[in-house]
């Protein structure tokens, strides 16, 4: 395994456990089996490590959620299930992606937001196909709600990680939540 890879894996574990702000470069070095100063031969600093982890997480999500060519609900299900499978498989990266964006520099955050557009566009297109009556704002809100719900898998406590098929459970919960949001609002009773 390359030294860069060891550093990124060590950082991912530490950032997941304690958050970006709670980890020093020296701690990453110890976990990776290198000295803190040696890290600077591979990365400019801790923020560049975080940016690399964000890129890795987004690349993984993009690969995991390629629609299988179907349309409608089958396409939406493939995106939901692909995202859930990725979160279970790469929970540390998924957790960092969901919780540490505020630690990115403004320039890195802008770059990352540009990169995420294609990911969120994939969701938006699938949702518009299944729920054509919903407004653009409702679709955008649904995307963020679904991504957050699925992303919560990375934060589940250890006692819930033993559920037989977490991917299937969260996939069905997410689809049910999206369906519930598509129902017309109930009129208040007088």
Instruction: Classify 24 as helix, strand or coil.
Output: coil
Is residue 189 a part of any domain in this protein? no
Instruction: Check residue 189 and give its pLDDT.
Output: 54
Residues 18 and 89 in one domain: no
Residues 87 and 169 in one domain: yes
Q: State pLDDT tens for residues 43-53.
A: 999 999 999 99
Specify the pTM.
0.87
Instruction: Count how many domains the chain has.
Output: 2
Distances from the Cα of 173 to the Cαs of 65, 81, 90, 150, in angstroms? 17, 11, 20, 9
Residues 18 and 88 in one domain: no
Residues 27 and 69 in one domain: no
Is residue 63 a part of any domain in this protein? yes
State how far the Cα of 37 lies from the Cα of 92, in Å rounded to an integer.
24
The parts of the chain modelled with pLDDT lower than 70 are 69, 183-190
Is residue 158 a part of any domain in this protein? yes
State how far the Cα of 73 lies from the Cα of 127, in Å rounded to an integer.
9
User: Which CATH number does the domain housing residue 30 bear?
Assistant: 1.10.10.60
Radius of gyration of the chain from Cα atoms? 19
State how far the Cα of 96 lies from the Cα of 60, in Å rounded to an integer.
13
Domain range for 83: 51-182
Q: State pLDDT tens for residues 57-98.
A: 999 999 999 887 678 899 999 999 999 999 999 999 999 998
């Amino acid at each position: 395994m390359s030294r860069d890879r060891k550093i990124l894996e060590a950082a991912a574990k530490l950032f997941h456990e304690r958050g970006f702000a709670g980890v020093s470069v020296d701690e990453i070095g110890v976990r990776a089996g290198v000295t803190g100063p040696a890290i600077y031969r591979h990365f400019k600093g801790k923020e560049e490590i975080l940016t690399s982890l964000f890129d890795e997480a987004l690349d993984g999500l993009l690969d995991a959620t390629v629609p299988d060519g179907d349309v409608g609900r089958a396409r939406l299900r493939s995106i939901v299930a692909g995202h859930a499978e990725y979160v279970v498989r790469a929970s540390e990266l998924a957790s960092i992606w969901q919780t540490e964006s505020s630690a990115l520099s403004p320039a890195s955050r802008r770059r990352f937001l540009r990169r995420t557009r294609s990911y969120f566009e994939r969701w938006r297109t699938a949702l518009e196909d299944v729920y054509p009556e919903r407004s653009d704002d409702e679709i955008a809100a649904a995307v963020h709600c679904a991504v957050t719900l699925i992303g919560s898998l990375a934060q589940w406590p250890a006692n819930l990680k033993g559920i037989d098929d977490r991917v299937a459970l969260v996939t069905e919960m997410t689809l049910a939540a999206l369906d519930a949001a598509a129902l017309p609002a109930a009129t208040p009773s007088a």
